[in-house]
A and B are shown apart, each in its own frame.
Chain A
Amino acid sequence: MAAMSPIRRQLVVPTAASAHPGDGPVTIDPADPSDATASRWGTTVGRLGPPDTEGRRVAEIVVDGWRYEFTVEDADRAALRERASRDRGGAGRVGGRLEIRAIIPGRIAAVAVTPGDEVAAGQTLLAVEAMKMQNELRAPRAGVVGRVAAAVGTTVEVGALLLVLE
């Protein structure tokens, strides 16, 4: 359906699994020539998912070797949905609570903290072993360790909850 209408503004949001710090939602108007001249050498569309029930599609794009995964949705429709979710009270983020999730899959090699520990920014929280490397996960800010969901020796996938910083 969206594919049939030639010119609609699109809201492009990085997927949770692929987002890097600083990646933000972008609204693109395909009718605007400054947005539409984007294609160039070294550009690949890897995968284009079918629309979900909300009309969103996942697109994998590779530009100059950089791989991005976006959820793409009709911008007007996204605005409507956003308003509806705000009216319901919105889930949103709990103030001050920070969930630390796995950015690579691997095995939990060590957990350096227990619930109730006060940690400083940059302090090592745990280590994930992947591809023979120990990857240390550090606290992005100071806080108190809430829940520790990761257990030493277990295998985690990308996005798995490891621990909560209150």
Chain B
Amino acid sequence: MTSVARPLDDPSLRKDDRPPPFPRILVANRGEIALRVIRTCRDLGIETVAVYSDADVDAAHVAAADTAVRLGPAPAVESYLRIDAIIDAALVTGALAIHPGYGFLSERASFVRAVTEAGLTFIGPSAESIDALGDKLGARRTVSAVGVPVVPGTFEPAPLDRPDALEGIVANADAIGFPLLIKAAAGGGGRGMRLIASPQEMPAALVAASSEARAAFGDGSVYLERLIHPARHIEVQLLGDLAGDVVALGERDCSVQRRHQKLVEESPAPGLSVDERDALHDMAIRAARAAGLANAATAEFLFDQDRRFWFLEVNARLQVEHGVTELVTDLDLVAEQLWIAAGEPLSPAVRDAADRARHPGRHAIEIRLAAEDPARDFAPVPGRIGRWVMPAGPGVRVDTAIAEGERIPPDYDPMIAKVMTVGRDRRTALQRMRRALDEIVVTGVQTTLPFDRVLVRHRAFVDATGLSTDWVPDHWDGPGSRAASYATAAAIAATSTGNANAEARLAAPAPPSLRKDEPVHGDWRSAGRRAATDRWPR
């Protein structure tokens, strides 16, 4: 099976005589995830209410919804993080449930309580399991209690409000050992996290991490954790119903990261033995049961060089990279979330997928395309998109809310698209990814595409032996890669502006620039196709 097309009797949608799980829901998010949730709602016959800030008046998720309600000005604290405004919007429009997407309020227990107290259904785990699992410190306590190995570190927030307590924090740090990580208890996506090598760096790093955490999550609590290094990042997709039944829908390897944020995800994790995979899924299920988890969540682990798993945290929400699991399992995880929130037990299709996930027969890869400069340490570069061409074709799925000419606001996350491919095995999925990336045209802003193009051809990724959270520092030379294309770009600029016959010069193609390694497979490209796509826009 390599097709992404879903069968008509898709079990997640259950298009039988029954009414949809909710007549109308509100989607408390923006961008591609809001659009993705709205799409499933439309599939199920659920009406949708979008919310938006002043920066998103013309955004795709607003256009796609049946109704839209303005929340406030562009900064997230004045719009997408306003619990009162979001609940008002739901009550005014008659929405009966709220889907939080990821980020923003998705893992805020206070939000879940406010939603429930307003008589609405929260589509996600309960406030109690978010307290127990969504908070990283709570998760460490809960999970270690049921015998799942957690990364060595502290179990209580560092007392930053008491200047005299610094000595105690440093003593804790010494006991854990340097280098170590300061992490935000409410954290995610690497925000509020600092790597420190010595006790001298602690005071400044504690303050910086805490203030970043407060700005991002409204909670400045931080704690200490040993750096497991080198390691792979492997996580398990969980789905649980309100009766307490939990299944694991396979794992994802998300090792390739920068700033502790994922750049690439794939499922299954390459190179795991059957026993390792079984043990991993079982640990994740045990952690979820301990916290009484319902709905969708992900348990994250580090996999060290001695092939040991260390529990990191549970993300009690839908993940950015959930689409990879959807491509492998053929489930619609958002639809499953909706059915579960409406009180349905885990369906036979979900149980089936969980069984198959132990012996995966497909492979999917996702690349997160972001408006970032990979030659400047992936610094965000907001701006206005010029041309915008996304890939398509067999085995390709693109989740995005961006269109040509659209402004990327500096107020939100720089991710602009998720490009996914699927195939019968990793090699096929990777071949399709190379082809898909070649089809992408984005002008107006710098994107992570140069990095992605090199990654999918690099031996240390292609043979999966180099998978590590250090992939970027180990293998990526951004300035060097950029410099290698500089002369070419200058020559094209000169010929396109100074020479009327420039178009005729689009001659034989050469391979894309690579840093250390040669391409492993021949690139799929043809002069004829290139000539058709790369016309000078006069």
**Chain A interface residues toward B at CB < 8 A:** 2-4, 6-8, 10, 12, 20-23, 26, 28, 30, 35-48, 57, 59-68, 70, 72, 74, 103-106, 109, 129-135
Q: Flag if A3 contacts B495 (CB, 8 Å).
A: no
Closest to A62 in B: B443
CB of A124 to closest CB in B, whole Å? 9
Enumerate chain A residues within 8 angstroms of B507, measured Cβ to Cβ: 37, 39
Taking CB atoms, residues of chain A closer than 8 Å to B508 are 37, 40
* Nearest CB of A to B512, in Å: 5
User: Do the beta carbons of A28 and B494 come within 8 Å of each other?
Assistant: yes
Flag whether B200 is at the interface (Cβ < 8 A): no
Determine whether the beta carbon of A43 is less than 8 Å from that of B488: yes
Assess whether B497 is in contact with A39, with CB atoms less than 8 Å apart. no
Instruction: Decide: B497 and A35 in contact? CB cutoff 8 A.
Output: no
* CB pair B498 A64 closer than 8 Å: no
Residues of chain A within 8 A (CB-CB) of B411 are 131
Complex contacts, A6 vs chain B, CB 8 Å: 499-501
| Inter-subunit contact B483/A22 (CB<8 Å) | yes
10 tightest Cβ-Cβ pairs between the two chains A and B: A46-B443, A65-B449, A28-B494, A65-B450, A38-B491, A10-B494, A131-B380, A41-B509, A59-B493, A63-B485
B residues 464-522 in Cβ contact with A at 8 Å: 479, 481-483, 485-502, 505-510, 512-513
Contact B450 A12, beta carbon cutoff 8 Å: no
- Of the candidates A7, A8, A10, A63, the one having the most CB atoms from chain B within 10 angstroms of its own CB is A63
Query: Which residues of B lie under 8 Å from residue A39 when comparing CB positions?
Result: 492, 495, 505-507, 534
Is the CB of B444 closer than 8 A to any CB of chain A? yes
Bound: A14/B536 CA distance, A:
20
Which residues of chain A are within 8 angstroms of B487 by Cβ–Cβ distance? 26, 38
- Measured in the bound complex, the distance between the Cα atoms of B487 and A165 in whole Å is 32
B442 adjacent to chain A (CB < 8 Å): yes
Question: How many Å from the CB of A123 to the closest CB on chain B?
Answer: 12
* Set A22, A36, A45, A46: member contacting B491, Cβ < 8 A: A36
Q: Contact at A132–B191, with CB atoms within 8 Å?
A: yes
Query: B498, A133: Cβ atoms under 8 Å?
Result: no
A28, B380: Cβ atoms closer than 8 Å: no
Contacts A44-B534, A59-B497, A62-B442 known; A131 to B382 CB distance under 8 Å? yes
> Are A2 and B450 in contact, with the CB atoms below 8 A?
no
- CB nearest neighbor in B for A21: B479
A103 to B498, CA, bound (A): 30
Q: How far is the CA of A63 from the CA of B386 in the complex (A)?
A: 15
B216 within 8 Å of A by Cβ?
yes
B14 interface residue (CB < 8 Å to A): no
Determine if A12 and B380 form an interchain contact, defined as CB atoms under 8 angstroms apart: no
Cβ contact within 8 Å between A131 and B413: yes
Separation of A36 and B508 alpha carbons in the complex (Å):
11
A8 to B498, CA, bound (A): 7
Cβ of B525 within 8 Å of any chain A Cβ, yes or no, is yes
Asked if B410 CB lies within 8 Å of chain A CBs, one says yes
Cβ contact within 8 Å between A43 and B450: no
CA distance A72 to B507 in the complex (A): 22
Is A10 in contact with B498, judged by CB distance below 8 angstroms? yes
Name the residue of chain B whose CB is nearest to the CB of A155.
Answer: B410
Q: How far is the CA of A40 from the CA of B498 in the complex (A)?
A: 19
**Interchain CB contact (< 8 A) of B446 among A12, A42, A67, A72:** A67
Note all chain A residues with C-beta closer than 8 A to B76: 132
Q: Knowing A63-B489, A68-B489, A105-B382 touch, does A36 contact B495 (C-beta < 8 A)?
A: yes
Decide yes or no: A72 and B498 within 8 Å by CB, A12-B490, A131-B412 being known contacts: yes
CA A22 to CA B484, docked complex, whole Å: 12
Q: Do the beta carbons of A42 and B489 come within 8 Å of each other?
A: no
CB closest residue in chain A, given B440: A65
The answer on a CB contact under 8 Å between B380 and A45 is no
Question: Is B530 an interface residue, CB under 8 A from the partner?
Answer: yes
The residues of B that contact A134 with a CB separation of less than 8 Å are: 208, 211-212, 215
- Residue in A closest to B531 when the chains form the complex, CB atoms: A39
B415 closest partner in A (C-beta): A131
Whether B538 lies near A40 (C-beta < 8 A) is no
Asked if B376 is at the interface of the complex by the 8 Å CB criterion, the answer is yes
Q: Are A66 and B481 in contact (CB under 8 A)?
A: yes
Contact indicator B447/A65 (Cβ below 8 Å): yes
Expressed in whole angstroms, the minimum distance between the Cβ of A56 and any Cβ of chain B is 9
Instruction: Given contact pairs A6-B501, A39-B495, A65-B450, enumerate 18 new A-B contacts (beta carbons under 8 Å).
Output: A3-B497, A4-B500, A6-B499, A23-B486, A30-B498, A40-B530, A42-B453, A44-B534, A45-B492, A45-B537, A61-B493, A62-B441, A63-B488, A66-B481, A66-B489, A68-B486, A130-B382, A132-B216
Tell me how far the C-beta of A114 lies from the nearest C-beta in chain B, rounded to whole angstroms.
Answer: 18
Sampled A-B contacts (8; CB under 8 Å): A3-B498, A38-B492, A66-B375, A67-B446, A72-B493, A130-B380, A131-B411, A132-B191
Tell me whether A104 and B481 are in contact in the complex, defined as CB-CB below 8 angstroms, given that A42-B512, A72-B498 are known contacts: no
* Contact assessment for A2 and B498 in the assembled complex, using a CB-CB cutoff below 8 Å: yes
Q: How distant is A97 from chain B, measured CB to nearest CB, in Å?
A: 24
Residues of chain B contacted by A57 (CB below 8 angstroms)? 497
CB-CB under 8 A from B493, the residues of chain A are: 10, 12, 28, 59, 61, 68, 70, 72
Chain B residue nearest to A38 in the complex (CB)? B491
Q: How far is the CA of A64 from the CA of B523 in the complex (A)?
A: 13
Structural contact, B375 and A20, CB atoms closer than 8 A: yes
Q: Is B452 an interface residue (CB 8 A)?
A: yes
Q: Is B244 an interface residue (CB 8 A)?
A: no
Please report which residues of chain B, range 397-414, place their CB below 8 angstroms from some CB of chain A when the two chains form the complex: 410-414
* Contact among B413, B505, B512 with A41 in the assembled complex (CB-CB below 8 Å): B512
A25–B375 Cα distance when bound, in Å, is 19
Would you give the shortest CB distance from B448 to chain A, in whole angstroms? Answer: 8
Bound Cα distance from A37 to B502, whole angstroms: 10
CA distance A22 to B375 in the complex (A): 12
